[in-house]
Amino acid sequence: MTADVVILGLGYVGLPLAQEAVKAGLSVLGYDISARVVDALNSGRSHVDDLSDDDIAAMVAAGFRATTDESEIRGAKTAVICVPTPLSADGGPDLNAVESAVRSVARNLQSGTTVILESTTYPGTTDEVVRPLLEESGLVAGVDFNLAFSPERIDPGNKQFGAHNTPKVVGGYTPACTERAAEFYSQFIETVVRAKGTREAETAKLLENTYRHINIALVNEMAKFCHQLGIDLWDVIRAASSKPFGFQAFYPGPGVGGHCIPIDPNYLSHNVRAKLGYPFRFVELAQEINATMPAYVARRAQNILNDAGKATNGANVLMLGVTYKANIADQRESPAIPLARALAGLGAKISFHDPHVETWRVPGVDVLKVDDLEVGVAEADLVILVTNHSAYDVDRLAGLAKRFFDTRGVTQGDQAIRL
């Protein structure tokens, strides 16, 4: 069977892309090395936040199929690689999954195929790593097959922007490669933005998240000294946001998490050090500041308890929301984990509640799950709002709590202590 596209990696990036392609009438094959994931999808069951079981069932009914058989890649006109790129031990991207996926494509590569990498990585990966592996097939990029990079821009839980209406950046190995990739995405994505080449497209993604990383670090640093100076930073941000130009609001919090902000800027920093021999100081400082926030929140929690004449050692601390962002189940790089460790290190007894998480484990820390939210809030010595899920009526909960520490600045009035 010939497919219009095979998508390698059926996670939070690959599945929404597959869904949009299916909606546009393309024949879509999904490839993943996990038999569990493949079997679940073929049975109409989702494993990502943004797609429901009904969404997957509709895709299957429209012809979508998942497989673990790499030989089926051979029949696809386009292959899109959407596999994870976590940090390696040296701070650079771990390309094992990318290289494995590329080799699977290379073993089945045919003349005329368009190959697109979406996995976030350092500038030069498409040309220096992906292209040579593909050319081991005997085919030549830009001559026998098309090669491009198009950074994923998925924002899990975002109800306004998804794969269809988020502009797609595309940079090819040659101008013709750019056009072939752009033509492919234009079938089901509203806006395609052509970059000069693969390196420019790779760097664009890193710039987007480095910009956010640095600005979050700025307000996190301000949160610390504003607290010491008795300044309400949340009111400062509200006032500054009234300026209709030259300002974008960023907000402090207990730390950064997820698949992008704590990870992507490090790719750029690692690449600068490795290739140019000097540090990307903005990124490394931002990383240092953001990484200290869980410990800072734990110290603030200790001070709140001390001010109430309550020792942190033996205190019952309830953490509300343990995912990395609101209204999703994704726990990757969540600051809740280092925060729980820091609190436990001070002797606190940790419990948690999260409407999206059934089981939460923190290595080395005993964590109790609270089923009755209001009872748990009322009984805890300190409640810390870590992630503000929409299911939480934060002002009501703050009123029920003995002490309520709001790290997200969402409570009103004086019933809570804000970061």
CATH number, domain containing residue 280: 3.40.50.720
Instruction: Say yes or no: 262 and 339 in one domain.
Output: yes
Q: Is 124 left (phi over 0), alpha (psi -120 to 50) or beta?
A: left
Kindly state whether residue 381 falls inside one of the protein's structural domains. yes
Kindly state whether residue 44 falls inside one of the protein's structural domains. yes
Instruction: Say yes or no: 374 and 319 in one domain.
Output: yes
Cα(151)–Cα(141) distance, integer angstroms = 19
pTM of the model: 0.91
Kindly state whether residue 221 falls inside one of the protein's structural domains. no
Instruction: Say yes or no: 135 and 251 in one domain.
Output: no
Instruction: Say yes or no: 407 and 279 in one domain.
Output: yes
Count of CB atoms situated within 10 Å of the CB of 223: 24
Kindly state whether residue 225 falls inside one of the protein's structural domains. no
Kindly state whether residue 39 falls inside one of the protein's structural domains. yes
Instruction: Say yes or no: 93 and 31 in one domain.
Output: yes
**Runs of H (alpha helix) within 230-309:** 233-240, 264-276, 281-291, 293-307
Specify the DSSP element, H or E, that contains 223: helix 198-229
Instruction: Say yes or no: 276 and 167 in one domain.
Output: no
pLDDT score for 257:
81
Instruction: State the angle between helix axes of 264-276 and 281-291 in degrees (0 to 180), rounded to the nearest 10.
Output: 140
Contact 269, 379 (CB under 8 A): no
pLDDT score for 1:
58
Kindly state whether residue 339 falls inside one of the protein's structural domains. yes
Instruction: Say yes or no: 283 and 388 in one domain.
Output: yes
Instruction: Note down the domain range covering 124.
Output: 3-204
Kindly state whether residue 220 falls inside one of the protein's structural domains. no
Cα(223)–Cα(21) distance, integer angstroms = 43
pLDDT score for 154:
87
Total length of the chain: 419
Instruction: Say yes or no: 156 and 251 in one domain.
Output: no
SS3 category, 5: strand
The pair phi, psi for residue 175, each rounded to 5°, is -55, -35
Kindly state whether residue 219 falls inside one of the protein's structural domains. no
Instruction: Say yes or no: 127 and 260 in one domain.
Output: no
Instruction: Say yes or no: 162 and 257 in one domain.
Output: no
pLDDT score for 279:
83
Instruction: Say yes or no: 78 and 148 in one domain.
Output: yes
The pair of three-digit structure tokens given for residue 208, joined into one six-digit string: 């987007």
User: Furthest-apart CA pair in the chain: how many Å?
Assistant: 74
pLDDT score for 266:
77
- Give yes or no: 260 in active site: yes
Instruction: Enumerate residue ranges in the chain where pLDDT < 70.
Output: 1, 259
Cα(317)–Cα(106) distance, integer angstroms = 53
Structurally, how many domains does the chain consist of? 2
pLDDT score for 158:
87
pLDDT score for 273:
81
Count of CB atoms situated within 10 Å of the CB of 234: 20
- The active-site residue, picked from 82, 177, 226, 260, is 260
Instruction: Say yes or no: 245 and 175 in one domain.
Output: no
